[in-house]
Amino acid sequence: MSIDSNHLVSRRFMLKASAACALASAASRVFPLSSAAPVLAYIGSYSASMDGGAGNGKGIYLAEMHPESGELTDIRLVAEARNASWLSLDPSGRHLYSVNEVTDYEGGSGAVSAYAVHRPTGDLTLLNIVSSHGAGPAHLSVDRQGKYVFVANYFGGSIAVLPILASGALGSPAFLHQDIGSLGKKIATDAPAGSYAISGHDKPHAHMIHADPSNQFVLQTDLGQDRIYIYRLDSATGKLSPSADMPFVSLPSGDGPRHFIFHPNGQWLYVLQEESSTLAFFHFDPHTGTLQAQQRLSTLPPGFAGTSFTSELAMTEDGRFLYAANRLHDTVALFAVAQNGRLSYIGETSVLGDYPRHIAISPNGQFLYASNQRSDDITVFRIDRTNGKLTFTGHYAAIGSPTCVVFLTL
């Protein structure tokens, strides 16, 4: 397929990257001395100004994660791309997918890029770029069978299901949907005192889309509508259909649902509200796809006043602790998960950076990584397995406008 004049990917860079990949494959790669399997980290970034921050990134970066210290080293650019702000690996770990969070691809859309992952170097080869069928894609995920990429177009307020071809490239959409109307109020119902977090209720904004652990349902948040949609997935065709007569649940008006995470038991769902800085807990029925609200609480310390925006959730593998990132407040809040799924606030840790857009836990469960968009760095924290508390390791990774980290264990 042709690449438009906006140069989502530099042809010159791809030629250089292909040559570098060939040389790297011919040479032996040195990994940290450890009995653990080597772990690579792919890091997305903004190449254009976004959310008040500069676009200092150039695309997708690759680093090696040291399993004992958590440090990210040997950082290098492996794919030059515009606003590669969200990444997702397929279940095999052999293909990487990235949004291109733009609004000018093929007549006003965003784009999705598909890459082949070369082992053991981690280098990427571009397979193809396709339209996201909506402006400004902010999130994508791969279904648990590795058959489809789900895309949420934030600025376009739409979602798309893109089939994954045998080569790993992306095909024509199997399903498209446009959210319309039903907007929440500008000021969040549960906003902290003095908050001016009123950015996202001008129109529908699809913010996240992901399959449930059973791969039978697909959930989607719309920040502008204050809704969580639940669809049933036809795994044979990729089509989504409403899960019930009322295929969504509503959050308080203006609160702005952003990202969500399932508990390892597959029956508890935790949802971040961006503009109210709150967490909502739901019971999820894996047979019907229905959600029942259980709890709602702040991600900010008691007495906080002013403006902050939540961004991302991460949970320990045992499901005992949940983390939530706060932008502007620039902290990671820690919650304990009770035996009934309810949350209790323990405290917060400074990210030692500016505007943590994303947090992620390493595959060995020992470290948490905060991608600080405005301070151009990733900070690394050690997780205390007994109480969930975070301690800064002293390690920074310098990345221009980082937006997310995904790990690949070789």
pLDDT digits (tens, 9 = 90+) for 10-69: 433 343 344 333 333 333 333 344 457 899 999 999 999 998 899 999 999 999 999 999
Q: Which residue in 3, 65, 58, 71 sits closest to 36, CA to CA? A: 65
Alpha-carbon distance of 350 to 220, in angstroms, equals 30
Q: Which two tokens stand for residue 172?
A: 């024509």
Contacts of 70 (CB under 8 A, 6+ apart): 362, 366, 367, 369, 380, 381, 382, 393, 395
Contacts of 286 (CB under 8 A, 6+ apart): 212, 213, 214, 216, 217, 266, 267
Alpha-carbon distance of 115 to 188, in angstroms, equals 39
Q: Which residue in 134, 96, 173 sits closest to 404, CA to CA? A: 96
**Number of residues that make up the chain:** 410
Q: Please give the tally of structural domains in the chain.
A: 1
In a domain, 343, yes or no: no
Alpha-carbon distance of 354 to 120, in angstroms, equals 33
Per-residue pLDDT band for 107 (boundaries 50, 70, 90) equals: confident
Q: Where are the alpha helices (DSSP H) in 88-222?
A: none
In a domain, 181, yes or no: yes
DSSP 8-state code for residue 29: P
Which residues are bridge partners to 19 per DSSP? none
Per-residue pLDDT band for 352 (boundaries 50, 70, 90) equals: very high
In a domain, 204, yes or no: yes
In a domain, 45, yes or no: yes
Largest CA distance in the chain: 59
Q: Which residue in 297, 173, 291 sits closest to 240, CA to CA? A: 173
In a domain, 275, yes or no: yes
Q: Which two tokens stand for residue 218?
A: 């697909």
In a domain, 166, yes or no: yes
Q: Are 339 and 319 in contact (CB under 8 A)?
A: no
Q: Is the pLDDT of residue 7 over 60?
A: no
In a domain, 336, yes or no: no
Q: The domain containing residue 175 runs over which residues?
A: 39-305
In a domain, 332, yes or no: no
Look at residue 246 in the predicted model and tell me its pLDDT: 82
Q: Are 99 and 71 in contact (CB under 8 A)?
A: no
CATH number of residue 241's parent domain: 2.130.10.10
Alpha-carbon torsion (95, 3, 204, 180), positive or negative: negative
Q: Are 155 and 263 in contact (CB under 8 A)?
A: no
Q: Is the pLDDT of residue 244 over 90?
A: no
Per-residue pLDDT band for 80 (boundaries 50, 70, 90) equals: very high
